[in-house]
């Protein structure tokens, strides 16, 4: 084992120089993603996603100077959403429920009005009486809509009736009637008649809440500096830091489901500049979605932003097509293939924590490697085809994959590593397949 480690240029200065390992069991699954193009509308250019429901329908809009046209895509069939005013052909969708109803904004002669696009067709003007300037932000399966109007401020609409509501910039609502949003610099949750301020990483930090899952998990962000934010989630109003893909980046979360899968956007270095990429986070491991695309897709597409994830793990995302020089809506469908690290639990410093990899060869030795950051890809001696993409790589242990191809590694994480960040990979020593890098943020 030491010889192999020498060939991998192990560096003993790495922060995880701890000893001991043991195998254990877990039920987490791995997944890669098959990219399905949703595309744009005839005569339009770039398109952008807004939502996905549990039926896999995708809500988005396409650009055509000067119009923005909203649409719902259902397995290749596109339904364009009508404008309130044909002389002002511009609309921006915001949310989609499980029935296929959508809400958003449509231009009028002077401003714009909140609208509902029922699944059965048509458009309903939701502008409160006397407002003449409004937007609808979210709805649930009961067609309860939350929006904002100039004079009414925040309002609720259902069955043709408007009521005033707590004056916060609400962004998302679930079927239980829980709503999340922002007021000033703080994120809030409305739950059963009570309003709760959601905590930041430290007192006084700016927070934002963007999405709430059916069971009440919340996705958002917390400020790090004036121009950088950390993606976070709240579970039972307790904040969990999701981490970053590199130490100088920032980002936010846009979507979350009840499985705790979180999606969003992060910035990463690209030469002298930084670019945005979509991410998926599950059970304390974050991945750049571009690392998880099925073979051949990564050459044709770059996933720039992951907007929402549904209960089955399908993701509505924005991706760049170099061949057409367009940003287009895509749907990412999970497929169970490829060695992937998906779980680091329970992510508690000063305790035993478990790394898990899935889709290894049953009975194979799996080598776990950790580093301080992502680096240039390098080959692995004695294992042709495997690559390590880590700075300061160090073997932290090995495990034998079970009959389901799952291997786990237990490690004690010293309390002094609270808040630290590292990157991990696994190598299947039978097939010489290596997993994509997984990014882990130790909780404060």
Q: What CATH number does the domain containing 422 carry?
A: 2.60.40
Q: Is the pLDDT of residue 5 over 60?
A: no
**Do residues 183 and 298 both lie within one domain?**
yes
Domain boundary among 310, 335, 360: 335
For residue 61, being part of any structural domain is answered with: yes
Mean pLDDT over 253-269 rounds to 96
| 404-434 pLDDT tens trace | 999 999 999 999 999 999 999 999 999 999 9
CATH of the domain at 180: 2.120.10
Nearest CA to 411 among 151, 10, 22?
Answer: 22
Looking up tokens 């690290």 gives 341
Among 282, 300, 335, identify where a domain stops. Answer: 335
- Tell me whether residue 86 is in a domain: no
For residues 274 and 170, state if they share a domain. Answer: yes
Query: Under DSSP, is residue 196 helix (H, G, I), strand (E, B) or coil?
Result: strand
Residue that the structure tokens 């009414």 belong to: 152
- Decide if 433 contacts 339 (C-beta within 8 A): yes
Q: Are residues 69 and 211 in the same domain?
A: yes
Is residue 386 domain-shared with residue 253, that is, in the same domain? no
| Structural domain includes residue 437 | yes
Do 228 and 317 lie in one domain? The reply is yes
| pLDDT tens for each residue of 268-308 | 888 788 999 999 999 999 999 999 999 777 779 999 999 99
Q: Are 358 and 324 in the same domain?
A: no
Chain position carrying tokens 């991706």: 319
- Domains: count for the chain: 2
Cβ of 2: how many Cβ atoms within 10 Å? 8
Q: Give domain status of residue 157, yes or no.
A: no
Residues 23 and 45 in one domain: no
Among 335, 354, 370, residue at a domain's last position: 335
Domain interval for residue 192: 32-80+166-335
Residue at 423 is within a domain? yes
364 domain-assigned: yes
Please give the mean pLDDT across all residues of the chain: 91
pTM of the model: 0.92
């Amino acid at each position: 084992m030491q010889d192999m480690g020498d060939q991998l240029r192990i560096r003993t200065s790495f922060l995880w120089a701890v000893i001991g390992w043991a195998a254990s069991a877990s039920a987490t699954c791995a997944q890669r993603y098959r990219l399905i193009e949703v595309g744009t509308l005839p005569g339009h250019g770039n398109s952008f996603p807004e939502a996905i429901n549990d039926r896999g329908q995708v809500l988005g809009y396409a650009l055509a100077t000067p119009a923005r046209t909203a649409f719902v895509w259902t397995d290749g069939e596109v339904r364009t959403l009508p404008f309130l005013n044909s002389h002002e052909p511009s609309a921006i969708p915001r949310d989609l429920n499980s029935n296929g109803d959508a809400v958003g904004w449509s231009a009028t002669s002077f401003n714009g009005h909140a609208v509902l696009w029922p699944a059965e067709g048509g458009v309903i003007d939701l502008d409160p009486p006397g407002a003449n300037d409004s937007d609808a932000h979210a709805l649930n399966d009961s067609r309860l809509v939350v929006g904002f109007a100039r004079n009414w401020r925040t309002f609720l609409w259902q069955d043709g009736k408007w009521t005033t509501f707590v004056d916060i910039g609400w962004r998302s609502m679930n079927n239980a009637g829980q709503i999340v949003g922002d007021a000033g610099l703080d994120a809030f949750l409305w739950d059963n008649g009570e309003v709760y301020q959601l905590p930041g990483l430290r007192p006084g930090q700016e927070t934002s809440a963007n999405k709430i899952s059916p069971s009440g998990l919340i996705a958002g962000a917390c400020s790090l500096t004036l121009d950088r934010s950390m993606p976070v989630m709240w579970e039972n109003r307790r904040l969990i830091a999701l981490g970053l893909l590199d130490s100088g980046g920032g980002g936010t979360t846009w979507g979350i489901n009840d499985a705790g899968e979180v999606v969003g956007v992060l910035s990463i270095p690209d030469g002298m500049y930084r670019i945005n990429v979509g991410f998926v986070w599950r059970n304390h491991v974050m991945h750049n979605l571009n690392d998880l695309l099925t073979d051949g897709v990564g050459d044709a597409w770059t996933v720039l932003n992951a907007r929402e994830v549904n209960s089955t793990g399908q993701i509505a995302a924005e991706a760049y097509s170099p061949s057409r020089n367009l940003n287009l809506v895509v749907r990412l469908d999970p497929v169970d293939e490829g060695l992937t690290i998906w779980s680091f639990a329970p992510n508690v410093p000063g305790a035993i924590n478990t790394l898990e990899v899935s889709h290894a060869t049953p009975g194979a030795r799996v080598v776990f490697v950790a580093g301080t950051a992502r680096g240039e890809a390098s080959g692995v001696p004695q294992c042709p085809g495997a690559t390590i993409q880590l700075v300061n790589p160090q073997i932290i242990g090995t495990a034998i994959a079970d009959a389901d191809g799952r291997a786990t590694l237990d490690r004690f994480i010293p309390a002094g590593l609270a808040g630290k960040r590292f990157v991990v990979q696994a190598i299947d020593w039978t097939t010489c397949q290596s997993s994509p890098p997984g990014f882990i943020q130790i909780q404060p």
